[in-house]
Structure 1
């Protein structure tokens, strides 16, 4: 006589109409499951006479943070925020470079015998990213942090308010009497945020009755190197700008280096404003005025949204949240030189 197969966690999930990770949460006594869902899972466990002892010891839930690179201070700050938020919800965090992620690896981590990957956080996914298609095809709960635009993204997202942040930055320079304001943005490298920050720059100048001069506009890649090179281009103009707004703090640091090479003092000869407020921004000489992205809050919101996606149908409409930025005024800006 053939023995009746022992019920698996996947069988319980199917009977309850929820995901495998949701059943795992109920079995492990986690709190972020609704009472209604918990009751459904418990009923399925009773009906199938499922015993937790029939499976290997449950592993702690894991969230995977997928990044494009690990060599950016901004990325490291985001990682710290995700770790803190995940720990609060009882998760561990695994990291992966986007180029190393494959459909097969994700599929294996979602098998009932493994049941470790509860969700994925995509950091700054680019437009048309295959990663989004992959998580959707495998029905893995996923949230994007700071994506390159949210149009047709198809998964929930949390983004900084790039336009209003840049508008505050350029408005700050205008309020100090600057009229020749250069910009080093990143419209090609980062179409979503780069274009938003450039649009805010143009809008602020327009409101002040000033034209956008093509000679004062440069397009970089958010790196120190592009800040140095493009900052040098602006500072070597016959009539150089009295202030420069950059699309990232790293570019602002590059502009500071270019100014020092030309014996220009910041802020006496040149005012500089960055964007991001990475830890190094407060330690430059002088400390950098910049637009702060609330990375810790964005990470907390993203992890919270991810836990709420457990058991939610993949067809549910994604939510796109925008988090306010803040202008942090330090010592790299002053009134326009005489």
Structure 2
């Protein structure tokens, strides 16, 4: 008597993309009849899909996969940069993106039920804090989740995308050290945020490698706002032993420090060097233009779209994927060697 017939496991989009040497979104477009793919690429991907027995989940003609983007701050420039990458990628991946604000006071997690009731298939959570109850509620509704730049460390079930924050903190500090600064202060941003801790760790590593004993009073906790940078910058610059350089864990507080220096009659960069993190649009047009560590924010949004499309198509993998995209230092006019 013949044994049970074993069904061939459907290959994942990520596996096909790796074999074909293309992105997940390109495989998704080919599998679901999308356009904007060259004939040669389409033929190669279709051949690999056929060889591995891939059968696409059929959608109604003209329909898109509904996905919710939740964010804490709609008006933050960082949100807008990430959203640009999400929208551009979604247009070619077959996703319909809706945007909502993450509710701060929702202990019963009813907002997750509402997302499911609205017919969403997945959620992209930007700078969120997802707790165990929320993750369990997502799973109970069959909602796939991708976190972008999460404030808390993702667990093994949560796919996420972020940036190389530790390396960025190291780069920023090494730049100031290379200019000759030794009295460097740091504004950490949210001390509980995972990105903040990584940037501070990179800062400490660079100072330690340079053999400089860190003055802990020069490491100040705040948040990622302009007002925080203005307040803490004013505090630092009032000191008799004020720093010659400040590294802020985000661009907005860095710009606040520049304003604090202006109010104290100090020139940037002649009297004070300032470095930020993010490379938001205002960093390029500030006076002076801000030296900063660039996060590939739009690329982070695009990668999140590819991830959520793959999760919806293939289901959750055995182990969640955590991706970090490279940062790089952009030197502009806000840094110079310390005054004699």
The verdict on a shared fold, with TM-score over 0.5 as the criterion, is yes
Alignment partner, residue 298 of structure 1: 300
Deviations 1:6-64 (A, max 9, x none): xxxxxxxxxx999xxxxxx999745899556753768xx9xxxxxx7xxxx76432221
Larger gyration radius, structure 1 or structure 2: 1
In 2, Cα distance between equivalents of 1:310 and 1:282:
38
- Unaligned regions of 5+ residues in structure 1, if any? 1-15, 19-24, 46-51, 111-116
1:183 correspondence with 2:192: no
C-alpha contact (below 8 Å) 1:28/1:58 kept by paired residues:
no
Deviation at 1:148, TM superposition (A): 2.1
C-alpha contact (below 8 Å) 1:171/1:204 kept by paired residues:
yes
Deviations 1:181-216 (A, max 9, x none): 00001243x421111111111111111111110221
Q: What TM-score, normalized to structure 2? A: 0.80
In 2, Cα distance between equivalents of 1:261 and 1:157:
41
Count how many residue pairs are aligned between Structure 1 and Structure 2: 298
1:91 correspondence with 2:95: yes
In 2, Cα distance between equivalents of 1:216 and 1:40:
56
Alignment partner, residue 39 of structure 1: 55
Deviation at 1:312, TM superposition (A): 2.9
Alignment partner, residue 247 of structure 1: 249
Classify 1:85/1:311 alpha carbon distance in 2 versus 1 (closer, same or farther; 3 Å).
closer
Alignment partner, residue 324 of structure 2: 322
Matches within 5 A, 1:126-275: 126=129, 128=131, 130-152=133-155, 154-188=157-191, 190-275=192-277
In 1, Cα distance between equivalents of 2:143 and 2:77:
28
Residue in structure 2 matching 1:107, options 86, 91, 116: 116
Alignment partner, residue 289 of structure 2: 287
RMSD between superposed Cα atoms in Å: 2.8
C-alpha contact (below 8 Å) 2:224/2:252 kept by paired residues:
yes
Secondary structure in 2 matching 1:144: strand
In 1, Cα distance between equivalents of 2:170 and 2:31:
49
C-alpha contact (below 8 Å) 2:156/2:319 kept by paired residues:
no
Segment drifting more, 131-140 vs 203-212:
131-140
- Unaligned regions of 5+ residues in structure 2, if any? 1-8, 12-28, 36-44
Classify 1:169/1:308 alpha carbon distance in 2 versus 1 (closer, same or farther; 3 Å).
same
Deviation at 1:132, TM superposition (A): 3.1
Q: What TM-score, normalized to structure 1? A: 0.81
Deviations 1:263-289 (A, max 9, x none): 100000000000000111000000000
Deviation at 1:103, TM superposition (A): 2.8
C-alpha contact (below 8 Å) 2:82/2:299 kept by paired residues:
no
C-alpha contact (below 8 Å) 2:247/2:275 kept by paired residues:
yes
Alignment partner, residue 75 of structure 2: 71
C-alpha contact (below 8 Å) 1:150/1:157 kept by paired residues:
no
Alignment partner, residue 20 of structure 2: none
Secondary structure in 2 matching 1:273: strand
Classify 1:246/1:102 alpha carbon distance in 2 versus 1 (closer, same or farther; 3 Å).
same
C-alpha contact (below 8 Å) 2:32/2:56 kept by paired residues:
no
